[in-house]
Amino acid sequence: MAVYHFKNRPDREIKDKAELNGILQNGRYAVLSLCRGNEPYVVSLSYGYDPDEQCLYFHCASQGLKMDFIKVNPNVCATIIEDGGYVSGECGHHYRSVVIWGEIEIIPDEHRKKEGMRVLLNHLESDPLVIKEKLKKLPSFDSKMTLLKLRFKEITGKVGR
């Protein structure tokens, strides 16, 4: 994974890979920026982070605007923000964030889809019984659900306050 370095406000750049990894592990949703021709589209999705593969997994419907955009242009930009809150009277904000540039892949086969869903559920859900039950039901959802994998090309991190 390439790490882009800031030209503006280098004092706020997060360079430590463990800190970047922590933001990705603590987050629960990402905002994806997609583009089709000259038309932008932004969507928020819950995700699962796989630190070994340096990727995020998302699940969504098999049809719709998001899928239309991805099929035309799989290059995306995503952001994840840890919001520490506004600092009243200082016009400031406590936060840490990452921006990811990468490529979205539609996972076609059932085995890889199940592994991606395992990553996603383990990231979001703390109850192992819920995870087990959801994974059992996966084949019945297969025709209704698409699993997406965002592979990182570059990542930046920034901290405020």
Backbone φ, ψ for residue 38 (5° rounding)? -105, 10
pLDDT, mean of each 10-residue run, the chain (161 residues) = 60 88 96 96 97 95 94 97 85 88 93 89 85 71 80 92 72
User: What pLDDT score was predicted for residue 10?
Assistant: 72
The pLDDT of residue 5 is 55
Pairing of strands 29-36, 39-46: antiparallel
| Residue 105, burial from CB neighbour count under 10 angstroms (0-12, 13-18, 19+) | middle
Q: Domain map of the chain by residue range?
A: 2-160
Quick one: how far is CA 92 from the chain centroid?
A: 26
Task: State residue 141's pLDDT score.
Answer: 54
Say which CATH superfamily domain 2-160 falls into.
Answer: Electron Transport, Fmn-binding Protein; Chain A (2.30.110.10)
For residue 27, the model assigns a pLDDT of 95
